[in-house]
Structure formats: C-alpha cells, structure tokens
Amino acid sequence: MPLDPTKHADWEIAEAAEETMKTIDQVAEEMGLEKRELLSHGHYVGKVDYKQVLERLGDKPDGKYIDVTAITPTPLGEGKSTSTMGLTQGMGRRGKRVVATIRQPSGGPTMNIKGSAAGGGLSQCIPLTPFSLGLTGDINAVMNAHNLAMVALTARMQHEFNYGDKTLSKKGLKRLNIDPRNVEMKWIIDFCAQAMRNITIGKGGKMDGFMMESGFAIAVSSEIMAILAVAKDLEDMRQRMGRIVVAYDKRGKPVTTGDLEVDGAMTAWMVEALNPNLLQTLEGQPVLVHAGPFANIAIGQSSIVADRVGLKLSDYVITESGFAADIGFEKFWNLKCRMSGLKPHAAVLVATIRALKAHGGAPLPVPGKPLDRSYSEEQVEWVEKGCENLVHCINIIKKSGVNPVVCINAFYTDTDNEIKAVREAAEAAGARVALSRHWEKGGDGALELADAVIDACNEPNDFRYLYELDTPLRERINLIATEVYGADGVEYTPDALAKAKQMEQDPELQKLGTCMVKTHLSLSDNPALKGVPKGWTLAIRDILTYKGAGFVVPVAGTISLMPGTSSDPAYRRVDVDVETGKVRGLF
C-alpha cells in the first residue's frame, strides 16, 4: 500500500514506491521499445535512442496530443507536474497507452524554494533522487557547451587585444573586432546565484584574459537549452548551434559561434543529451524527461523530440508547459507547435483553491513561512473573486482553438462550496471541468479528469496561431500583451525600441518566433498584481536575439535571467543516510 500523503513527505512516498517499481527494461518493453532503442543508465533510468524509434515507426499514426498548463500560480507552484503525473496515471487506469513528456528540473529551484518538480503525493515521477539531481547529465552538457562558447569568445578577445593581425593570421585566425561593450551572452550555472548576476572577469595581468564586465544566468535559460527543446534531430541541432549570436563587433555586426569556430565542439557536448530520458510514474507509466523548465525566462517546454517519440508509442501524450497559460501555454501554442508542426487535441488548465484565494484577496503565501489560516478555511468569496484569473486563462486557451479542460487540483482542506464555485465559473466560461484528487489517491483519484480529457480529445478543434511570422515584431508583442496578458498596450525603453526597429528591417530576424520573458506570478509584468490586472502597460526593457533557437526574446519588467536564493532554501533539509546512501528531504 502507498503511504498516506497527508502524513508523509513526498520523498518518503517516492522512496517507499521505489522498493517495488519496475525496472527500466520493463517500462521500455511495455512502452513498445525494442531492446536496441533503450540506452540504460542503471536499473531504473534510461535514455531512448530517438532516431531508431522514429525511423522504425515513422509511418505509424500519432496518438492524441495534450498540453498541461495552469492559472497564474502562487510562489509555491500550482501543481502542474503533479497533475500531469496524476492524469497519466488516470489514463493508465482507464487502460490507455499513455506517455508523459515533462522537463528536467533545474538545480536552482530544487535547492531553493520550488522543489524538484517531480510531482507530489501519490502522483510523482520516480526515481526521485536521479530525477532531481542531474539525471543523465543533460543540463551539465548544456552548461559545458554554453560556457565553451564563452571561453572561445573571451580567448579570442584576449588574443586580438594582445597580438597583431600578422600573428593571428599565422594561426589561421582573422580579427573579429568584438565590441566588449556589446556582448550578448553570459556564463551559466545551474543554481540560483544572485551574487553572480554581474561580475568583472579578466582581472590580473596580460595572461589572465580580457578584462570586461560579464555575469551569469541560470543554466536552463541558455539558448542551448532552447535548442535542445526545439531541435528535430542532430543535423538540425548542428545547424542551429552555429547561428548562436555571442556578441557584436564594433560595427554592430553579429559575432556567432560559427565565426568563433566553436559550434562543432559545442554540438559534440550535446550528442547524447539529444536522446530523451526515460523514467516512470509511481504507478509505472512511462515518462520521457527532456529539456528544461522556466517558461518565464526561457521557452520552458519539454522537447519536440520527446513528444514525437511519445506520439509514435502511445495513444495519448501528455506534455507540460512551464508556469501559467499566459507564458507557458502561449509559447507552446505559438513557438513549440509552430516549430514541430504538431497540433494539440486538448489543453488541461490546472487550478488550486489555494491560488484562487490568493487571486481573490487572501494574504499572499510567502515561501518558507506557514500559510495563513484562511487557506485551510472555507472562503467562497475569495475563490469566486479569484476565478476571474481562471476565466482569463480559459479564454487564452480558447483563442488557440483548443478545447480547455479545467482540472481542480484538489487538496483535502478544500470544501464542497469552494469546489462548486470553481465548477460554476469554469462551465460558464465554456470549459469542461473535472475534480481530481490525484495528489491524495493517485490514478484512482484522477479518473474524472481522465474521462474529461478523453472526451475533449474526441471533439474537433480549430487550432490556429495568434500571429503569422510575417507580422512585424512590435505588432506581435502588442498582440501577446493585449490578447494574452490583458495589457492596454506596450512601452519600450529607448534601447529596446531601437533594437525592435532594427530587427523589423532585417528579413532574417523577421522570420523568427517571439519568446517573451516575463514574471510568472502575474498576468502583468509586475509580480505583485494578482487576479486580472486592469489599466497597465507592458514595459519592454530589452530584446535579445536567439538565432540558433529561432526566436527573438523581448524582456519585460524587472525579471532577471538569474533567480536568487531565498533565506530558507530547500538545501537546508536535504541530506544523505551515510549507511544506505539514500538521499532524504527532496520534494
């Protein structure tokens, strides 16, 4: 019998389940993989040779495609990963061949506030420890490939500064005239390290590098992680890797990884990472884990490769987009689906009573501090007011033409009257609604949700993009701001406006997608504004160019590509049993 989630921590439930979980060979065989297509990493984790699978099953019809997103979350999350695992388990209970495709967690939130994103209660991805602590090394490969580009850039700057053109030409190099004041990339590390946002490098003597201002971003915000998410195969990845803009020269011309002749070596680091990772739910359904999180500062989607593999091997693929519908689903809709050519059959919108209360006026949750007592007491008025955010997110999904299913991600303190208020609001907005108790009961608690999603998949939809690629950049940004976020308009800093105008004159950049960077804690660019803010303007302070990934990146508000570590981080509670070697305290 599984442990009671109301009495045991997530890591305790996962550890108990791991005693009887399937081997990775069993998971692969039941999934329909051939032996040569499974690349084992021990007894319970593997990689899938995507190329062999797609070559073998290329003519097989795809299964149904479902995206899981959420309303605007609290700082504690909204339970999308838990709901994705629960829905996968519920589908399994209904006898469906189902695969979940989720993102690999970053060490930043795992060791900080949010936890490992493995799910929770009786709906988790296991084994928990490898899932949470590096898995098979994909993020490490991203870090090495990315930082190698920075090594190549800074080394070239040092040698160009110290040596004449004659010396460079003897080594087969040409002067790139890199502008040290116009470097696009930073270094990356997979932790929330605010002290490294802004640094000075190259201090010392002539042999210690070129002295300049630099900094760090978190690993999963890297363009290389975005390339891992959207690349269709190794050839596509190799081509994208050479188009990454690292800096600009003194005439304003882009300097790419191809110009630095480092793109081949960067790809070499990523070859194995292109194969999706295979794990399982607590109830034994297959889970493909690939690419990284953070849809607020990155694309925040599981990989196209993993989705394509899953669709060939199952009746249903349940994928998860980062954070809420305004950023995660919007990028799934207008970026990932456009790049993959895949069209979703349904979208699940996860909502908790807790978050609805926060949007309705309850004291906001503070990570590391106990929840206000109102979150465990009946507060129907706050829930009804908070449903304005729910309805807004329903309407975002409906703009794509996809059928929305609201999942009420239930907690045992939720009351019947609060749940009724959510049902009434969602149904009035034209969405299916399902109460799901997967956190408490696993797959058995997700049967209503599974049935609603199956019904939604069987109805036709009219999937369409918000904008076409010939839409000018500022017009696209305005469409996203007004139609998705609910802003009155957009304003730009002088630098961002100059970049936007320049990009609109470049036919190559005009063809790229638009990947917004914005807080996930509000529909607006101000994390303090809850519910559905009115009378505000989206502030664009910068626009980055991710030519390799295939999009430009407008940066809104004050959000940083390097999150900070809190005063009460999760690593304080993580430890190891020195006798068994088991890790304790992950969540």
Task: Give the pair of three-digit tokens for residue 118.
Answer: 């493995």
| 117 Rama class: left (phi>0) / alpha (psi -120 to 50) / beta | left
Choose, from 22, 96, 114, 336, the residue flagged as catalytic: 114
The 10 Å CB-count burial string (b at 16+, else e) for 193-204 is beebeeeebbee
- Phi and psi angles of residue 241, each rounded to the nearest 5 degrees, phi first: -60, -30
- In whole angstroms, give the CA distance from residue 512 to residue 504: 11
Considering 131, 294, 323, 333, which one is annotated as catalytic? 323
Catalytic residue among 23, 268, 343, 411: 411
DSSP state of 183: E
Tell me the one-letter amino acid at 524: S
Catalytic entry in 22, 47, 80, 156: 80
Which of 281, 221, 453 has its CA nearest to residue 350? 453
Instruction: Specify whether the CB–CB gap between 230 and 304 falls below 8 A.
Output: yes
Pairing of strands 404-409, 346-351: parallel
The single residue of 47, 96, 103, 331 carrying the catalytic annotation is 103
* Residue 28 annotated to the active site: no
Rg of the chain's alpha carbons, rounded to an integer? 23
Q: For residue 302, which of 485, 514, 50 has the smallest C-alpha distance? A: 50
Burial status of residue 337 (CB atoms within 10 A of its CB: 0-12, 13-18, 19 or more)? buried
The dihedral built from the CA positions of residue 445, 446, 447 and 448, taken in this order, carries a sign that is: positive
Distance CA 160, CA 285 (A): 55
Catalytic annotation present for 80 = yes
**Between β-strands 46-48 and 64-70, what pairing exists: parallel, antiparallel or unpaired?**
unpaired
The catalytically annotated residue of 11, 191, 333, 439 is 439
Residue 439 designated active-site: yes
Q: Is 323 a catalytic residue?
A: yes
Label the pairing between strands 187-189 and 254-256.
unpaired
Of 363, 295, 375, nearest in space to 117 by CA: 295
- The yes-or-no answer on residue 294 being catalytic is no
Q: Indicate which residue of 17, 100, 226, 295 is catalytic.
A: 295
Residues marked active site are found at: 80, 82, 103, 114, 295, 323, 411, 439
